[in-house]
Amino acid sequence: MQQPKSVTTSVGKPVTFIVKAVSNRHLKYQWYKDGAVLAGATSPTLNLRKTSFDQAGIYQVQIDTVTNRLSGTNAPLEIVSQPASLDLILGASIAITSPRAATRSTNGIVKFQGRTSNTTGVSTLEYRLDTSDGPGQYQPVTGIKTWSVPVALVPGTNIFRIRARDTNNHFSAEIARSIDFVFLSTLTVIQVGAGKITPNLNGKSLEVGRDYTLTAAPASGNIFEAWTGSLTSGLPSLTFTMQTNMFLEADFLLNPFPAVKGNYAGLFYGNRGVAVESSGFFTVAVTDQGAFTAKFQTGTTNFSFASQFDGQGLFSGEARIPGARFSVTLQVDLTGADEITGQIVAGRWQSQVIGDRATYDAHTNPAPQAGTYTLLIPGTNDPALGPAGDSFGSVQVDAGGNIQFSGMLAYGTAISQGAAMSKMGLWPFFIALPGGKGSVISWLSFTNRGSDDINGALDWIVPAQPGAPYYPLGFTNINFAYGSAYDPAAAATNRVLPFTNGLVVLTGGNFNVPFTNQVILAADNSISSQSTNALTLSIKTSNGLFTGNVMDPATGNLLSLQGAIYPEFGYGSGFFKGTNQVGRIFFGPE
C-alpha cells in the first residue's frame, strides 16, 4: 500500500491526495478530514480543486476488503499565503521559523517559534492546536515581534495555527504548520514451538498508529497454529496497527497431519431424519499440512470449497453458492480413529456429518472385500404407494477399497456411484436423482453374515412430481438393502443359480393376479421358456445382471424385464413397468 503524502500549498491552489493499494479482492475507499467522513470521497484519489484555509487539516484514507481493513497514515494539508506568511489587516505579517513543516518528532513537547513584522495595532498573538481529537481552543502566545510557545502534542499529526488580534478584536487569517508526534512503544513478540518470525521486531520501539507486518514460518515438521495476544489470527502473515504495550505470540505445533493425510468419504443427514435437501454425500481430501478440499452433494445441490484445518484438526467457516449459504464445521480426528465429523447448517436445517478415511491400499493393505457383488433394494408391498419391483445393481470393489456401482431404480432410472470403503467395511451409499427429483441414502456394510454379504438400512425419497407417469404423489421407501457376492469366473463354467427347472413370476405392475412362466436354466446359463406365453431372458455372466421381455397375456404387449442374480439368496429379481405402476419379477427354482 502506497500512502498519501503530506502537502504544503498556498491558498487557492489545487491539491490531490493519492493512495495506491493492490489486492485480488474488491477494495472500498473512504477519505476523512480531522477524523470526520468526507461525503462522496470514496475513490483512491481525493481532489481539492481550490483550497481555502478551512480545508487545512489532517487527511486520512481507510481501505476495506472483504476480510480486512487498512488505514492510511495521516497526511497533513498546510495552507499558507503568498509567500509563506499572512498579511495582517493592519499590515503585520507572521512567520513560523521553527519547527519546519512536516517535522516528525519523538518529543511530546515542542516549542513553536516565529517572528512578526509590521506590528502596528497588534495587541496579541494567539494559537490553537488541531489534532485527531478535533480542533483546540485559542490560547495566548508570549511575545509579538519575536514569539515562542511550548506545545504539548498528541500522537499523530498536529496542526499548529497562529493568528494576530488587534485592539478592536479583528483577527488576521491563520498561518498553520503541521508536525507529526511519533509516539513510540515497545512491541513484545514471542514464539511457542519451532519456527521463525520475520522481521524481528521483538523489543523494538515502534510508532503507535503505524501499520506493520509480521510473518510466521514453521520449522520443518511443524505447522503454524495461530497468533494470540493483543490480536488473534489463524493466518501466518499478520498486518497490525501498533498500539501501546502491544504483545504478540506466534504458536507453532508439531505437524499432526501426515498421520491423517488422505481421502475421507461419508454421509450427512438431519437429527430428525433424512430429507432430500439436507442429506447427502461428501468427500474431504486432506494434505500432510492440514489443507483440505471438501465436496458436498445433497439431493438438490452441490457445493465445494478449500481451506485449512487448525492445529487441533478443526475447521469452522462458510461455503456459498448462488442463492444459498452453508455454515460448515469439520473436525478431523488426530488420535488414529481415521474419522471426520462435523455439522452443516443452512437456512432452517441442520445436519450431522460423519465420514471415514480410505485406508486400504492395493499393494500394502489390500481390501479383503475386493470382488464383484450384486445389490438388491426391495420394493414395497403395496404397488400403489411405491414401486413393488426390486431395484438392483452391480458392485465392483478393487484391492484398494474403491467401490464402483451401477444399477437401475425400479421405475427405470439409471444410477451410479463411486466411493471408498472404510477400514470397517462401510460404504457411504448416496444417489442424487436427476433434476433434484429425490435421493437414496444408506450406510451399507460389507459383512458376511451367512445370509448376505452387504446390508444396511436405506431411505429412498421421491418428492411429489405432478404429471410424472409413475408415482406423481411421490413416496418414501424406508427399507433394507442387501447384497450378494457374485463370482464371474465361476459363472463362466457353472450355473449362476443352483437349479435347472425354474419359474419367472411377475406380480404388481397393474396386474390383478400374478402370472408365471416355467423356464429351464441351462449349464451355460442360457434360459429357455417352457410355457406357451412368450418369454426371453438373458444373463450377463460378467456382472450377474439380466434383461429380457415377456408377453402380457392380457394385452399381448411385450413387457421389458430387468434385474440381477443373487447367488447368496438363490434367486434373481428385478422389475417391469406397467401402465402407471411398477411390478416385480422373481426368477427362482420351482
Res 183 pLDDT > 60: yes
Contact status, residue 85 vs residue 118, Cβ threshold 8 Å = no
Mean pLDDT of 296-320: 94
Mean pLDDT of 406-419: 95
Contact status, residue 265 vs residue 276, Cβ threshold 8 Å = no
Say what the pLDDT of residue 86 is: 39
Res 82 pLDDT > 60: no
Contact status, residue 357 vs residue 338, Cβ threshold 8 Å = yes
Mean pLDDT of 68-79: 72
| C-alpha cell belonging to residue 360 | 486400504
Say what the pLDDT of residue 575 is: 96
Query: CA quadruple 93, 173, 97, 137: dihedral positive or negative?
Result: positive
Which of these ranges, 14-18, 128-132, 281-285, has the smallest mean pLDDT?
A: 14-18
Say what the pLDDT of residue 84 is: 35
Q: What is the mean pLDDT of the chain?
A: 90
Class of domain 184-255: mainly beta
Res 383 pLDDT > 70: no
Q: How confident is the model at residue 409 (pLDDT cuts 50, 70, 90)?
A: very high
Which of these ranges, 12-26, 101-115, 337-351, has the smallest mean pLDDT?
A: 12-26
Of residues 26 and 483, more confidence is placed in 483
Res 31 pLDDT > 60: yes
Give the contacts of 562 (CB within 8 A, at least 6 positions apart).
392, 408, 545, 546, 547, 574, 575, 576
**CATH 3.30.60 is right for the domain spanning 489-589:** no
Where are the strands (E) in 81-137, listed by range? 86-87, 93-98, 103-105, 109-117, 122-130
Of residues 454 and 534, more confidence is placed in 454
Say what the pLDDT of residue 83 is: 36
Tell me how many degrees the CA angle 510-516-521 measures, rounded to the nearest 5: 130
Mean pLDDT of 43-65: 85
Highest mean pLDDT among 20-29, 30-39, 75-84: 30-39
Say what the pLDDT of residue 13 is: 80
Say what the pLDDT of residue 19 is: 85
Class of domain 7-79: mainly beta
Distance CA 410, CA 268 (A): 25
Work out the burial of residue 70: count CB atoms within 10 Å of its CB; fewer than 13 is exposed, 13-18 middle, 19 or more buried.
Answer: middle
Q: Tell whether pTM > 0.85.
A: no
Work out the burial of residue 289: count CB atoms within 10 Å of its CB; fewer than 13 is exposed, 13-18 middle, 19 or more buried.
Answer: middle
Say what the pLDDT of residue 429 is: 98
Sheet with 109-117: list strands edge to edge: 86-87, 93-98, 109-117, 146-152
Q: How many CA atoms lie within 13 A of 470 on its CB side?
A: 21
Q: Chain centroid to CA 212: how far?
A: 28
Distance CA 70, CA 489 (A): 69
Query: For the chain, how big is the Rg over CA atoms in Å?
Result: 40
Say what the pLDDT of residue 170 is: 83
Q: How many CA atoms lie within 13 A of 207 on its CB side?
A: 17
Res 87 pLDDT > 50: no
Distance CA 202, CA 206 (A): 10
Say what the pLDDT of residue 169 is: 81
Say what the pLDDT of residue 1 is: 59
Q: How confident is the model at residue 91 (pLDDT cuts 50, 70, 90)?
A: low
Distance CA 205, CA 214 (A): 15
Mean pLDDT of 485-509: 94
3-class DSSP state of 55: helix
Nearest to 330, CA basis, from 240, 260, 415:
260
Res 21 pLDDT > 80: no
Give the contacts of 467 (CB within 8 A, at least 6 positions apart).
none
Mean pLDDT of 175-192: 93
Mean pLDDT of 179-201: 95
Mean pLDDT of 90-94: 72
Tell me how many degrees the CA angle 83-88-92 measures, rounded to the nearest 5: 85
Query: CA quadruple 320, 326, 331, 337: dihedral positive or negative?
Result: negative
| One fold for 184-255 and 258-357 | no
Of residues 64 and 245, more confidence is placed in 245
Res 77 pLDDT > 80: no
Which of these ranges, 195-209, 348-362, 463-477, 574-588, has the smallest mean pLDDT?
A: 463-477
Superfamily of domain 258-357, CATH level 4: Calycin beta-barrel core domain (2.40.128.20)
Res 385 pLDDT > 80: no
3-class DSSP state of 367: coil
Res 547 pLDDT > 60: yes
Encoded amino acid at 568, one letter: E
Distance CA 86, CA 189 (A): 49
Res 560 pLDDT > 90: yes
Domain boundaries, the chain: 7-79, 81-181, 184-255, 258-357, 489-589
Res 321 pLDDT > 50: yes
Encoded amino acid at 386, one letter: G
Q: Residues of the chain with pLDDT > 70: what percent?
A: 96
Say what the pLDDT of residue 66 is: 63
Give the contacts of 481 (CB within 8 A, at least 6 positions apart).
375, 376, 377, 378, 429, 442, 444, 454, 455, 456, 458
| CATH architecture of the domain covering 81-181 | Sandwich (2.60)
Strand partners, 505: 516, 586
Which of these ranges, 154-168, 231-245, 420-434, 535-549, has the smallest mean pLDDT?
A: 154-168
Res 154 pLDDT > 60: yes
